Amino acid sequence: MQSHKKTRKHVAKVAKILRDTPDSVEKQADARSKDRVIVAKLAKISSPVLSFNRRSGVNEFEQPEYDMAEVGRIRDVESYVQRAFSQKEGLMFKEGWELVGKNPKTIQYIKSRFEQISAVTSFPMFSVIVGLGEDLIGFSNAFLVKVRNINASGGRTRRVVGKQTALEPVAGYFPVPVSTMRFKRSDTGKLLRYRQELPNGKSKEFSPDDVIHIYFHRKKGFLVGTPVLIPVKDDIRALRRIEENIELLVYQHLFPLYHYKVGTENAPAKEYADGTREVDAVKQQIEIMPAEGMIVTPERHEVKAIGAEGRALRAEGYLQHFKQRIFAGLGVSSIDMGESDTSNRSTADTLSRNIVDDVKHYQCTLETFINEYIIKELLLESTFADPTSEDNMVYLRFTEIDVDAKIKVENHAINSFNSNAITHGELRRIFGQEPLTEDGWADTFWERIEKQKALIQAVDEPYSNSAKAAAGKRAQGAANAAQGVVTPSNQHGTKTGPEKRKSSFTIGNMVDSNNRITKLYSDLRDNALASIAHGSFKDDWFKQLALATGTMMYDKMAPLVRLDFRNGFKETKGDIESANLAGPIKVLEARVQRIVNRYVETLINRVLGATNQSDTPEDRSIKVAAVFDALHARSMFIYESERNKARNYGLLHGYLANGYTLAEVDVATDACDDCVAKKTNKIHLVTATLDDIPGFHPNCQCKIKPVKE
């Protein structure tokens, strides 16, 4: 009684605050937040509604309204029922489940408690939840008994309003067979005790605080939910009786009865002088005839097999009728049970959607009870302040099982977001996720890649044309100074250059006919110099920008390499339509990726080295410009050789397709000494790699040609 008075005083206090507060939405919200009613401190109340009480004595326990043992027997012996329930159980846990909430600490706490419970009970919580789902689908009821032990639990003892003794923390959950549970309740329907009764007479009682009863489709005033099999079991019995009668009919007519007719009306069967009859003679002949024998008769004899002859009752329609009634009662279709019939794809999807919706209903029920009676109690046993507040609550959520429908909903949400119909937070909630935090945003694809790409083409400060012009003035001497360190156009002549001097950090295909790749490189250079001039250059920023530039370089270079490869293949007159070129093209793309990665890594190291070893912005600009110009000049040298290597790789596979197994180097007119020395080398086309074919060095223009064996 005093607990009810405290609750009423608390509610009156909140009401008074709201009345006395000025008409300000913000102040009213603050008052509600400050004086939020804590659910754990509210007293329990009993229902004033009368229930169906079927006990005859005050201290007697009631059985469930339905025979759960019979439901279990039907589930064990009936194939359709077992198959339908197995389908639903598999679908229910197909995608698994997860714990979600706003506070990572409370989520981790619940996970730790689940691990503790699994350890002390030797019964994993996953198996507990799966068992609850199986009982809920099969019996529309599921029971868990709690074991409280502070020495075997990570929770703390807590006080409950209306109880004189404190409750020890939960140490484990144990499932109970549904058919063994009995109930004791008051006249108003309040549960007083649970009892588990076994067929051998043993029994054990439990307090309502130590039992979790999960139910589905429970009628008002009933103790338990109505099992799905209750309206179906009569249809199952009718179907099985019809099948038994058909079985008897099959046995009766499996082996036909033969009728041997002797004589006709005009010429009846004869009776011989010795007293024997023609019928007896035929009978004796049939009895001594072997199983594989044959009978030869005159026209007066007739043999006919007697069977059902189509006059028996046709039971196919009755069988199909009762079978469909069973499927409908179980909430499945013939397609779900493995019978395709004549259904098309659209019909099959529609019928299967019904079982998905049914399973989602079970999932929603199971989530509600677990969140309310398991997770919430574990949180109340924690040391968190106000553990059941929205910020601290943890929820079990099943992952979406209808993947196709999920994709459609998410695509619609994305379109709504792109059309400015919803916010990003609303989009995340549709996806079943909380809105992103600052740390979450920093790890998105936009921040990591797309933003860096956008910065390269940025038109606002500090990357605008005016900023770049200002940086260009400061770095005016950088370009001139860099000319002194740029490698000359070709120190070995127009098309020469020994392989041993090939740089490990150069990149092929840095430019194309439209100068698109060179534009990416020059934008990266200008942005780096502009940030140095403004004093905003950061190592991490440049790394991200350089990596994004490298990604875009590869995206533009890979198609060019594939084109050169195909041109080389076509040059051999090979059938490019029927050839399988996916493997060689992947090899070329991997080579380009490695070259880009080496180049970007070297560029980052050299630029960061130049900025860290310089004191003034002018000095940094000069050194960074020199690094960019030197690397770019070197990359120009091997541009043609890389394209030539791709063409030669196409020639190699074209010659293979034409039946050749050997090739040799066809040196260019003004080839270097290293290439001339390779002229006599035979290239085995089957085992050759990219390193075995030209170009061997920057600006190498050598080719390969087939060798006739």
SS (H, E, C) 303-344: EEEECCCCCCCCCHHHHHHHHHHHHHHHCCCCCCCCCCCCCC
Q: What is the pLDDT of residues 71-94, one digit of tens each?
A: 999 989 998 899 999 989 999 998
Task: Dig out the tokens for 151 from the structure.
Answer: 């020495």
| Segment 129-155 mean pLDDT | 93
Cβ burial 395-424 (10 Å sphere, 16+ → b, else e)? bbebebbbeeeeeeeeeebeeebeeeebee
Cis before residue 462, ω within 30 degrees of 0?
A: yes
Residue from 428, 373, 426, 427 nearest 396 by CA: 373
- On the question of pLDDT at 133 being above 90, the answer is yes
| Better pLDDT: 180 or 334 | 180
Burial class (CB in 10 A: 0-12, 13-18, 19+), 109: buried
- On the question of pLDDT at 471 being above 50, the answer is no
- On the question of pLDDT at 514 being above 80, the answer is no
- On the question of pLDDT at 13 being above 60, the answer is no
**Residue 608, amino acid:** L
Please say whether the beta carbons of 524 and 548 come within 8 A.
no
Contacts of 595 (CB under 8 A, 6+ apart): 506, 507, 508, 642
Q: What angle do CA 389, 391, 394 make, to 5 degrees?
A: 85
- pLDDT band at 641; cut points 50, 70, 90: low
Task: Dig out the tokens for 570 from the structure.
Answer: 């076509």
- On the question of pLDDT at 396 being above 60, the answer is yes
Q: Which residues pair with 258 in a beta bridge?
A: 305
Strongest mean pLDDT among 325-339, 374-388, 475-489, 599-613: 374-388
- On the question of pLDDT at 397 being above 50, the answer is yes
What pLDDT is attached to residue 21?
38
Length of the chain: 709
The pTM assigned to this predicted structure is 0.55
Q: How many other β-carbons are positioned within 10 Å of the β-carbon of residue 59? A: 8
- On the question of pLDDT at 475 being above 60, the answer is no
Q: What is the 3-state secondary structure (H, E, C) of 223-284?
A: CCECCCCCCCHHHHHHHHHHHHHHHHHHHHHCCCEEEEEECCCCCCCCECCCCCEHHHHHHH
What pLDDT is attached to residue 40?
56
CA–CA separation, 625 and 168 (whole Å): 72
Strand 170-176 relative to strand 141-148, pairing: antiparallel
Contacts of 136 (CB under 8 A, 6+ apart): 142, 214, 216, 362, 365, 366
Q: What is the 3-state secondary structure (H, E, C) of 253-267?
A: HCCCEEEEEECCCCC
- pLDDT band at 601; cut points 50, 70, 90: confident
Mean of pLDDT over the chain: 78
Instruction: Quickly count helices (H) and strands (E) in the chain.
Output: 24, 13
What pLDDT is attached to residue 281?
84
Concatenated DSSP letters for 111-139?
HHHHHHHHHHHTS-HHHHHHHHHHHHHHH
**Four-point Cα dihedral 403, 409, 415, 421, nearest 10:** -150
Contacts of 36 (CB under 8 A, 6+ apart): 389
| Segment 583-594 mean pLDDT | 84
- On the question of pLDDT at 102 being above 80, the answer is yes
The radius of gyration computed from the CA coordinates of the chain, to the nearest angstrom, equals 43
| Segment 128-154 mean pLDDT | 93
What pLDDT is attached to residue 117?
94
- On the question of pLDDT at 370 being above 90, the answer is yes
What pLDDT is attached to residue 280?
86
- pLDDT band at 146; cut points 50, 70, 90: very high
- What are the domain boundaries of the chain? 2-37, 68-228+367-398, 403-437, 476-657
- On the question of pLDDT at 498 being above 70, the answer is no
CA–CA separation, 336 and 83 (whole Å): 9
**Least confident stretch, 96-110, 267-281, 490-504, 545-559:** 490-504
Three-state DSSP class for residue 561:
helix
**Least confident stretch, 38-52, 176-190, 590-604, 637-651:** 38-52
CA atoms within 13 A on the CB side of 177: 14
